[in-house]
């Protein structure tokens, strides 16, 4: 049979060492092509059909001759850290799952792996991470992953150096909850992510330089993510994303306490979804977003305790919604929104909430169309609405202006006069000082 195609069927009872989803004692079918490829360590081109679970204590010869696994391979709750059973493995047709292994320190044994047909998951936010895993260098030969790459909840992992052969991720790229991860170097050859990028809850992560090659994301980019455990506490910049020119979904930058600027987003001209900048206490302005002209979702700027201005949004012309401040978290030091002077059209509501330092709405003079309601609430320094004098269309039937302690009532009256002149049929629910206080004329 030398040089030919052969089929080997053998009965194996591997007990707790290696269990299949169906039974621990099964017939294992190996299909090998040719004998010329036999190596000194006994590896031959052979397919092990079906799904495999490796758990407990796995012997070094548990998968003799397997170079391809036809289904999924899951490695979990390992009592020993010897993965030499996988020394011949070159391809997994399904998923490779490595999670909930409290003693696993290395992935040695996976050096020959080149392809994962579906997703690669190293640690899970739900099922548990690999608490002692310090490196994933054994995956340095991996050239292709068909769906998601997730590296989550590996407390001692310091970098992703071994993944530098990957050029794209067709689904999601997730780097979440790795307590000791200082950088993500090793991802620099990834140029495209087909769906979402989530970088969150990595408290030691200082930069995103490892994503320097990323150009396009087909879904959302989340730098910090509340549902994934929060932001990246040590992240000081996003300069590594400077090559990114297209995000088809939204961009969220959330709870990154040391983030000082957004300069890495300078190449973005449009977002298909929302722009959310929330809870970044070191951020003083929005410079780095200077090329954005259109935002397909809401603009949500909330809870940035030291934000002074929205400088960086000067090119913005169109947004789905505009939220400057939120009901539960304003921007207490925000005093200047003049960079919004190019904004002409908001397709939904406009909300100005809890901006304690904002005295005027200067910057909204160019706004002509609001497709929803207008809410101006809880801005104790606000003294003028004059910047809204050029609104021609307000599709919402309600304007709510409350909690602006020193805003004269005549400013509200002037706004209603402008809207009435364009045939607006709605109602203003307002609260201001006595109407006899003077206002600058709106002309």
Mean residue pLDDT across the chain: 87
Domain ranges of the chain: 110-430
Query: How far is 266 from 268, CA to CA, in rounded Å?
Result: 6
Q: Which residue matches tokens 């400088």? A: 311
Do the bridges between strand 294-302 and strand 275-278 make them parallel or antiparallel, or are there none, so unpaired? parallel
The 10s digit of each residue's pLDDT in 68-114 is: 999 999 999 887 667 877 889 999 999 999 999 998 999 999 999 99
| 8 A C-beta contact, residue 358 and residue 340 | no
Looking at domain 110-430, what is its CATH homologous superfamily? Ribonuclease Inhibitor (3.80.10.10)
Can you tell me the distance from the alpha carbon of 191 to that of 9, in angstroms, rounded to the nearest whole number? 43
pLDDT, tens digit, 9 for 90 and up, residues 299-351 = 999 999 999 999 999 999 999 999 999 887 899 999 999 999 999 999 999 99
Q: Residue 237 contacts by C-beta under 8 Å, 6 or more apart in sequence?
A: 207, 208, 259, 260, 261, 263, 264
**Confidence check: pLDDT of 16 > 50:** no
User: 0.85 exceeded by the pTM?
Assistant: yes
Cβ atoms 225, 256 nearer than 8 A:
no
DSSP structural state of residue 124: B
Measured in degrees and rounded to the nearest 5, phi and psi for residue 394 equal: -125, 110
pLDDT at 29 over 50: no
Sequence-separated (6 or more) residues with CB below 8 Å from residue 271: 247, 249, 250, 251, 292, 294, 295, 296, 297
* 3-state secondary structure at position 412: helix
């Amino acid at each position: 049979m030398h040089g030919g195609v052969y089929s080997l069927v053998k009965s194996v009872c591997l007990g707790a060492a290696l269990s299949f989803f169906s039974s621990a004692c099964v017939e294992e079918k190996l299909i090998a092509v040719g004998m010329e490829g036999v190596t000194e360590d006994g590896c031959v081109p052979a397919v092990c059909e079906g799904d495999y679970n490796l758990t407990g204590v796995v012997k070094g010869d548990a998968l003799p001759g397997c170079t391809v696994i036809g289904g999924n391979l899951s490695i979990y709750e390992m009592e020993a850290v010897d993965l030499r059973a996988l020394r011949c493995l070159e391809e997994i047709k399904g998923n490779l799952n490595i999670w909930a292994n409290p003693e696993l320190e290395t992935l040695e044994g996976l050096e020959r792996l080149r392809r994962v047909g579906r997703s690669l998951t190293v640690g899970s936010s739900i099922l548990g991470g690999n608490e002692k895993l310090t490196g994933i260098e054994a995956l340095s030969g991996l050239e292709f992953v068909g769906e998601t790459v997730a590296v989550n909840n590996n407390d001692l992992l310091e970098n992703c150096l071994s993944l530098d052969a990957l050029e794209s991720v067709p689904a999601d790229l997730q780097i979440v909850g790795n307590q000791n991860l200082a950088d993500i170097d090793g991802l620099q050859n990834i140029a495209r992510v087909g769906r979402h990028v989530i970088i969150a809850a990595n408290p030691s992560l200082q930069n995103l330089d490892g994503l320097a090659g990323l150009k396009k994301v087909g879904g959302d980019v989340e730098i910090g993510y509340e549902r994934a455990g929060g932001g990246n506490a040590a992240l000081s910049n996003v300069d590594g994303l400077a090559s990114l020119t297209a995000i088809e979904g939204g961009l969220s930058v959330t709870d990154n306490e040391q983030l000082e600027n957004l300069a890495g987003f300078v190449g973005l001209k449009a977002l298909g979804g929302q722009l959310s900048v929330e809870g970044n206490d070191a951020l003083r302005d929005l410079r780095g977003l200077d090329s954005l002209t259109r935002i397909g979702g809401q603009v949500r700027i909330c809870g940035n305790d030291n934000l002074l201005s929205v400088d960086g949004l000067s090119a913005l012309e169109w947004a789905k919604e505009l939220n400057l401040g939120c009901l539960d978290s304003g921007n207490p030091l925000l005093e200047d929104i003049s960079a919004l002077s190019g904004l002409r059209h908001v397709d939904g509501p406009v909300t100005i909430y809890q901006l304690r330092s904002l005295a005027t709405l200067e910057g909204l003079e160019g706004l002509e169309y609001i497709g929803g309601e207008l809410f101006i609430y809880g801005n104790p320094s606000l003294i003028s609405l004059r910047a809204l004098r050029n609104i021609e269309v307000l599709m919402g039937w309600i304007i709510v202006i409350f909690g602006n302690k020193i805003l004269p009532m005549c400013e509200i009256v002037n706004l209603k006069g402008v809207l009435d002149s364009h045939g607006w049929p709605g109602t203003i629910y307002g609260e201001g000082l006595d109407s006899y206080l003077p206002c600058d004329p709106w002309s």
